[in-house]
Amino acid sequence: MVALQNFITHTLHGVQYGFILFLIASGLTIILGILDVLNLAHGELFALGAYVSFSVLGYLTGLVGSPTDPASQAIFLVLVLAGAVIAALVLVPVGVLLESTLFRPIYERDEVYQLVLTFGLLLIIKDFNKLVWGPSPRRIQGVYSGINSIPVAKFVGLTYPTYNVVVIAVGAVVVVGLFWFFDRTKTGRIIRATAIDREMATAIGVNTERTFTLVFALGAFFAGFAGAMALPQSFASLEMGANPSSSRSSSSSSAVWGAFRVRSSRPCSSAC
């Protein structure tokens, strides 16, 4: 019985870590799969999301204090999730600004321009993080333990951090939501049609520049959201953008997004 519990616990750890990687990779692969731009600065956007989340969650959780009963635990959890979304939303205008001023002029140029630009952007964002939050790692106190005070896993006889369960649930929702968005919504089909044939999309009235800006903003949102979700059980640091786990994240979801790109390569007559 103990061996079975250990197996389940380690399996859940792997699933939770996989979803963290998927959250990181989702923004990168949205930009790569649709705009065909390899954004080397995506890891630093992930770090920026963690730093912003440090400030946002510190303020929000300071308003309610540590949870002590089921009602305060539920409020605390909602505030943490809301703080993660707010931190991710902060990166949306950042993505809009970067795409409209820096990336748009190089879409038709050789890939080396993308590499040089995004590498320079990586250094700029890293220095910005250092300037605003300092060189020392930043960790928010009480969020991880506060959510873990909710005994979710104990209902099934397991001793497992509740925050990890939250990450698994949020990651599953993101996976389903992304496939639904690109397959079922008008905006998602327009994005796919623009990625397949930009000239044809322009001919039928699609504002391709606005569509590409939306895609980049969406990628920045998920980079920030991943940083916000990773922060409570870790810490924000200047090195997290270059962490090997961030670099490997694109390959961790390549099979999923590869399948999506194959599907998106089909003619999309109903895109608009």
Q: Is the pLDDT of residue 145 over 50?
A: yes
Q: Is the pLDDT of residue 262 over 50?
A: no
**pLDDT for the residue 240:** 87
Q: Would you say 117 and 103 are in contact if contact means Cβ atoms under 8 Å apart?
A: yes
Q: Is the pLDDT of residue 265 over 60?
A: no
Write down the mean pLDDT value for the chain: 83
Q: Is the pLDDT of residue 48 over 50?
A: yes
φ, ψ for residue 114 (rounded to 5)? -65, -45
Q: Is the pLDDT of residue 250 over 70?
A: no
DSSP helix/strand/coil, 138: strand
**pLDDT for the residue 177:** 94
Quick one: what percent of the chain has pLDDT higher than 70?
A: 86
- Who's near 27: CB < 8 A, 6+ residues apart? 42, 45, 46, 218, 219, 220, 221, 222, 223, 225, 226
Q: Is the pLDDT of residue 128 over 90?
A: yes
Rounded distance between C-alpha atoms, residue 42 and residue 117, angstroms: 12
In this prediction, residues 138-164 reach a mean pLDDT of: 79
What is the radius of gyration, based on Cα positions, of the chain? Answer: 20
Quick: pLDDT tens for 163-216: 888 999 999 999 999 999 988 998 988 888 888 887 888 888 888 888 899 999
The larger pLDDT score, comparing residue 266 to residue 98, is at: 98
| Banded model confidence at residue 229, pLDDT cuts 50, 70, 90 | very high
| Banded model confidence at residue 34, pLDDT cuts 50, 70, 90 | confident
| Banded model confidence at residue 260, pLDDT cuts 50, 70, 90 | very low
Here the contacts of 259-267 (C-beta below 8 Å, separation 24 or greater) are 260/33, 260/179, 260/182, 261/33, 263/183, 264/33, 264/182, 264/192, 264/195, 264/196, 265/196, 267/196
Q: Would you say 147 and 80 are in contact if contact means Cβ atoms under 8 Å apart?
A: yes
Rounded distance between C-alpha atoms, residue 20 and residue 25, angstroms: 9
Q: Would you say 7 and 155 are in contact if contact means Cβ atoms under 8 Å apart?
A: no
Rounded distance between C-alpha atoms, residue 55 and residue 202, angstroms: 41
Quote the pTM value: 0.84
Q: Is the pLDDT of residue 218 over 50?
A: yes
In this prediction, residues 216-238 reach a mean pLDDT of: 91
**pLDDT for the residue 155:** 60
Q: Would you say 236 and 139 are in contact if contact means Cβ atoms under 8 Å apart?
A: yes
Q: Would you say 89 and 53 are in contact if contact means Cβ atoms under 8 Å apart?
A: no
Q: Would you say 171 and 23 are in contact if contact means Cβ atoms under 8 Å apart?
A: yes
DSSP 271: -
In this prediction, residues 125-140 reach a mean pLDDT of: 92
Sign of the CA dihedral with 219 first, then 167, 75, and 56 last: negative
